[in-house]
Amino acid sequence: MDTTFEKDLEAKGYIDEPVDPTLDLVAEIQRLKKEKNAVILAHYYQDAEIQDIADYIGDSLGLSQQAAKTDAEVIVFAGVHFMAETAKILSPSKKVLLPDLKAGCSLSDSCPPHLFAKFKEQYPDHLVITYVNCTAELKALSDIVCTSSNAVEIVESLPKDQKIIFGPDRNLGDYVKKKTGRDLVLWNGACMVHEIFSQDKIVDLRSQFPQAKFIAHPECEEHILSQADYIGSTSGMLKYTIENPAQQFIVATESGILHQMQKASPTKTFIPAPPNNVCACNDCPHMKLNTLEKLYNCLYYELPEVDLPADVVVRARKPIERMLEISERFGL
């Protein structure tokens, strides 16, 4: 790669090369996948056109499981940076690509590893459980990683007298405390997407759609969760909408999941819970940085690549593997 190209990538975070407008991007991406023995993993919060071209769509737990077992030589992660890092930790010999390196995470940013390390020192007899939405360095400081799909089961799998630090999401931590009755020491972090839902607007929506089920992600604040008919991870919410006979659902999480809900239940109505601003739905600005054009260039040039220091990979792998082992034990 020439120096200009490299500087441009470093500054922008993605390959900013023009794409021929006459190209059938979907067909070209499919061709490149075969040519390079690549797999595309996409989170539910990605744009619909990216979800539709992915080999696997899922939440953080499902994506971690797929990253650990894929036979592909190249993993293209249509998600945010910490997700691509997790894939690299689980498949260190594979090339892991991210369409836009600046696709970050407000929750991950809310917990700088050096500050968390000092926080951890205050509780030397505590086991550390960290939510997967964090940096590789933070995972390396952990004993077990969890996702919203398995956080309750992971805490319950530990002895009742085990003292626990839970981070970085205080809302998920509060939810786990209530579900398990355990006294967790919480890091004060949060996800910007799940913290701006408007309680008043949701009340108004529920009066407009009195038959609708209100479902929410546990990263939401307690005053939102207290109204919910169902609380669960993105995959849990999707499953609930498929299995529940209700015909209308108000959904409090990032709006990208509605695409899969609608595909799975085309006769049902899905209404995004409104945030406390002028927007009608709640999009993650980081997730939405990825586009089909960036995905094509990423696969074509095999850049940007996500890499990690070998020692971080070794230390971060253990808590993730422990999570996967516990999840398998619980059938998650």
Q: How far apart are CA 332 and CA 330, in angstroms?
A: 6
For residue 136, how far is the Cα from the chain centroid? 14
Do the annotations mark residue 132 as ligand-binding?
Answer: yes
Q: Is residue 219 marked as binding?
A: yes
The position carrying tokens 């040039």 is: 301
Q: Are 73 and 94 in contact (CB under 8 A)?
A: yes
How far apart CA 186 and CA 216 sit, in angstroms, is: 21
Neighbouring CB atoms inside 10 A of 160's CB total 8
Q: Do the annotations mark residue 43 as ligand-binding?
A: yes
User: Any binding-site annotation on 191?
Assistant: yes
Amino acid code (one letter) for 152: V
Q: Is 114 annotated as a binding residue?
A: no
Q: Does 230 show up as a binding residue in the annotation?
A: no
Consult the annotation and say whether 234 binds a ligand.
yes
> What is the gyration radius of the CA atoms in the chain, in angstroms?
20
Residue 272 assigned ligand-binding role:
no
CA 20/CA 2 separation, integer angstroms: 22
Cα 181–chain centre separation: 26
- Neighbouring residues of 8: CB distance < 8 A, sequence distance ≥ 6: 16
Say whether 157 counts as a known binding-site residue.
no
CB distance 223 to 199 below 8 Å: yes
Which residues are within 8 A (CB) of 48 and not within 5 positions of it... i.e. 6 or more apart?
256, 259
Q: Any known ligand binding at 217?
A: yes
19 is in an annotated binding site: no
- 27 Cα distance to chain centroid: 27
Residues 326/154, Cβ–Cβ less than 8 Å: yes
> What are the distances in angstroms from CA 295 to CA 18, 29, 46, 292, 303?
13, 8, 12, 5, 10
What are the b/e assignments for 230-250, b being 16+ CB within 10 Å?
A: ebbbbbbbbebbeeeeeeebb
Give the amino acid at 122.
Q
Contact of 85 with 79, CB cutoff 8 Å: no
Give the annotated binding-site residues: 43, 60, 105, 131-133, 148, 191, 217-219, 234, 284
Binding residues for [4Fe-4S] cluster: 105, 191, 284
Q: Which residues are annotated as a binding site for iminosuccinate?
A: 43, 60, 131-133, 148, 217-219, 234
